[in-house]
């Protein structure tokens, strides 16, 4: 964080890209969210007819398996770099920061090969490298010729939020002039659906999947797995003019904490999220009253939603009655390693267009989740900054503050 009284050094956002179950790019995703359209439906990628949970938020793609990670990364990087000229930036001054988990194995592949000792269907000796979490960061670095720091952050649901924050900090410290920050995850996978079902974390509304993700609602019964990817191109103020594209926003505040409590849920008082929000606002030189829109982590699980709501109330104080809050996971599902960057971009789009996307399916707000909810229908918002929260397995918490240029 900056010294007290000093103007915070921001990272300029010169481009961004998003792919989710509701849109193939950032604009179509935001338009769908504003319209309240969900991407959650019956699983098409594999036969889930015997699974306890048979729905998810799939990205529609002709690809599947490990190659879908590549396709999603390529799509958001292409969109984020559109109109950005990196040719004048020394390669050593370009960094890449990606939030990624290891590619989840296909459970049918495991059963048919490893357990049955059958011949490997893929003769490629480097096939195992496709499953490594560092694959996407290295892929991006090769694509743009980045020879500065290249980092993979694999911290569950805060992975890409921390990637954005660490990229901003690298720019602040003068380590890079340009940083590409993003995340990708493919959760609608037999391995993940079975695993989270056994954990009891997923909604089981198989008869009405479009109503399954309902953050902050009294009837919520778990989250919905989703696919997605997002990326930002960040630059220092000193070099932004050389990139040939006007900035579309700034990342001005970042903080990360740990609950040190339980691996799967947050403490009832949401203390880790509260501290992260407070530190991120201080880092940006902002107060709670400056927030025009907050994109909550809002997973639709009973305890985590209540803990986050408690954290928001504590962090925002009296301003909580005036800060519009929504969770777009109600439409995109939970994209885990990708959700932080996706939702930071959504927060930036919200303050750009002065409209907040809603939390759909919020029919009976849980009294324990009392906030200024944007429920079911998009709402106009005033001027100010955008903020987003992320909270992950293991107790990690990240908050980001985004602003207009």
Q: Is the separation of the CB atoms in 107 and 46 below 8 Å?
A: no
Enzyme catalytic residues: 157, 297, 334
Q: Rounding to the nearest 10 degrees, give the CA dihedral for residues 277, 278, 281, 282.
A: -150
Structure tokens at 33: 């969210």
- β partners of residue 233: 15, 180
**Alpha carbon 202 to chain centroid, angstroms:** 18
Radius of gyration over every alpha carbon of the chain, rounded to an integer in angstroms = 20
Residue that the structure tokens 């490629």 belong to: 124
Instruction: Look at the alpha carbons of 64, 66, 71, 76 in this order and tell me if their dihedral is positive or negative.
Output: positive
Place of tokens 């890209």: 17
Long-range contacts of 59-64 (CB under 8 A, 24+ apart): 59/19, 59/20, 59/21, 59/186, 59/227, 59/228, 60/21
Please give the span between the terminal C-alpha atoms of the chain, in angstroms, as a whole number.
Answer: 20
Distance between CA atoms of residues 26 and 46, nearest Å: 27
In angstroms, the CA 167 to CA 160 distance is: 10
Question: Cα separations (Å) of 72 from 24, 25, 61, 146, 206?
Answer: 9, 10, 9, 19, 27
Across 267-277, b (16+ Cβ under 10 Å) vs e yields: beebbbbbbbb
Q: Which residue, 223, 227, 210, 387, is CA-closest to 305?
A: 223
Q: How far is CA 330 from the centre of its chain?
A: 13
Q: Give the per-residue SS3 of 172-205.
A: HCCCCCEEEEEEEEECCCHHHHHHHHHHCCECCC
């Amino acid at each position: 964080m900056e010294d007290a009284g000093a103007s915070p050094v921001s990272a300029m956002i010169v481009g961004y890209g998003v792919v989710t179950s509701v849109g193939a790019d950032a604009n179509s995703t935001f338009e769908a969210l504003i319209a309240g359209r969900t991407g959650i439906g019956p699983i098409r990628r594999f036969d889930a007819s015997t699974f306890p949970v048979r729905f998810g938020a799939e990205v529609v793609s002709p690809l599947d398996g490990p190659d879908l990670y590549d396709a999603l990364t390529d799509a958001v990087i292409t969109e984020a770099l559109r109109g950005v000229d990196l040719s004048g930036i020394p390669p050593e001054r370009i960094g890449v920061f990606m939030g990624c988990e290891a590619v989840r194995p296909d459970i049918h592949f495991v059963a048919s090969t490893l357990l049955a000792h059958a011949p490997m269907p893929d003769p490629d000796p480097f096939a195992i490298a496709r499953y490594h979490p560092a694959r996407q960061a290295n892929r991006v670095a090769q694509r743009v010729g980045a020879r500065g720091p290249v980092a993979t952050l694999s911290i569950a649901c805060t992975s890409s939020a921390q990637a954005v924050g660490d990229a901003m900090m690298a720019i602040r410290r003068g380590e890079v002039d340009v940083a590409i920050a993003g995340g990708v995850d493919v959760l609608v996978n037999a391995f993940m659906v079975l695993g989270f079902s056994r954990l009891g974390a997923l909604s089981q509304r198989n008869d009405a999947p479009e109503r399954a993700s309902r953050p902050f609602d009294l009837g919520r019964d778990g989250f919905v797995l989703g696919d997605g990817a997002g990326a930002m191109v960040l630059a220092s103020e000193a070099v932004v003019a050389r990139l040939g594209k006007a900035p579309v926003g700034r990342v001005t505040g970042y903080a990360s904490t740990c609950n040190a409590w339980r691996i799967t849920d947050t403490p009832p008082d949401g203390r880790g999220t509260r501290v992260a929000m407070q530190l991120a606002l201080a880092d940006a030189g902002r107060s709670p009253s400056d927030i025009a829109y907050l994109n909550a982590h809002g997973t639709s699980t009973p305890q985590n939603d209540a803990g986050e709501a408690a954290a928001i109330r504590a962090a925002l104080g009296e301003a909580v009655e005036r800060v519009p809050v929504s969770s777009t996971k109600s439409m995109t599902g939970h994209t885990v390693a990708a959700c932080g960057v996706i939702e930071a971009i959504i927060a930036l789009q919200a303050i750009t267009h002065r409209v907040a996307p809603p939390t759909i399916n919020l029919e009976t707000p849980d009294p324990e989740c009392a906030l200024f909810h944007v429920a079911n229908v998009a709402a106009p918002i005033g001027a100010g900054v955008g903020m987003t929260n992320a909270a992950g397995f293991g107790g990690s918490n990240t908050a980001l503050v985004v602003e207009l240029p």
